[in-house]
Structures are given as C-alpha cells and as structure tokens.
Amino acid sequence: MSEIEYRSSGTPLESYELTRKDHRGQKESEEISEWVQRQVEEDVAKCRADPARAECRRQAFEDVARLMQSFEKRDHEIMRWRVRLYCGHIIETEAHYTYSDPVSAGAYSERCPECGRDSLTIVAFEPLGLRAEPPAPAGPPPPAPPKKPTRAELERRVRALEEENARLRSQTPAPQSVSRKP
C-alpha cells in the first residue's frame, strides 16, 4: 500500500467553533438535499405512470447494487475517521484508505445517529487509523519469468556460436589414420 498523508481539520473536535463557511456549507447541503428529494419524487411519479420505466429503473438499481457488492473491501483498506457534524455531535465514519480526508471520499454530509437530523455537513475531522493492519508480505515475490530473446539477440548468439565452432575446428588436428601390422 502506498503511503498517504491523512489530513485533520478543526481539531480538537470537542472545542470546534462553527464558521461562516460551515453555515454556508450546511445551507447548501440542505438546499441540495431538498432539490434531490424533489427530483426523486418526480421520478417516482413518472415510474408510477409508466410501468416499463419502473421496471427499467428497478433493473438498473439491481445492477448497480450487484456491482457495488462485488467490490471486495478488506479491513486494511478502510480508514476510520472521527468527524464533527454541523449539529455538534461527534461520530465515526469510514472511507477507502486512498482518500486523505473523509470529505474527499464523498462523505460531505452525514445523518446524525444522536439527533436524527439528515444531511449534516462535516465541519471537522481527524483520522483514527485503519480498521486492521495490512497483512504481512508472504515472502519474497516469485522471480520474474525469463524474458524472451529478440530476433537480433538470437542472430548475434548464432554468429558467436558459429565463430566459436570455426575456431575450435581450426585448433583440432585432423584425425590420423593408424596402420596395423599383421
């Protein structure tokens, strides 16, 4: 796993004071949430009016759900974050380890399990660590397979062997015939 520098913002979380930026961000989050809700309601109404559209939509959601479930998420790839929500409550959230902060990972807003409010922006955060330690390497990696020689390399090797063969033939005296006496 590559080394990632995880960011913190607004620590210590317990004494964090909301800023104007936080208030603007929360207002934008609420407006976006309301807009999305209207879009969903319009789409639901269209699906009720058109069963073919509803079936197509249902199939698309099932396909997406299957795809998301197919991604294996190992504990050593999940970073845990302690975050302070706009409401003031502090909760824990998780994201893939490749993100340097939970907001970059898409956790811009959360539902607060303590007060029940939805679409609360994350105003401060700090990394807690991975769910689990990465597994130790099993051992040295297997050696790479020998690379296949190129045609030019093979031709050079053939020439070198032919030259060596010719040299060895020139050094060896010709066999002499042996005569035997009866």
Domain borders along the chain are 13-130
Report the C-alpha gap between 94 and 105 in whole angstroms.
9
Supply angle C-alpha 21, 26, 27, rounded to 5. 100
Q: Does pTM top 0.85 for this prediction?
A: no
Supply the pLDDT for residue 69.
85
Report the C-alpha gap between 8 and 103 in whole angstroms.
11
* Adjacent-strand bridge partners of 126: 82
How distant, in Å, are the alpha carbons of 59, 67, 104, 109, 119 from that of 100? 34, 25, 7, 17, 22
Report the C-alpha gap between 109 and 25 in whole angstroms.
10
Supply the pLDDT for residue 110.
86
Provide the 3-class DSSP secondary structure of residue 153: helix
**Confidence check: pLDDT of 177 > 90:** no
33-52 tens-digit pLDDT? 899 999 999 999 998 999 99
Q: Poorest-confidence range of 87-96, 108-117, 170-179?
A: 170-179
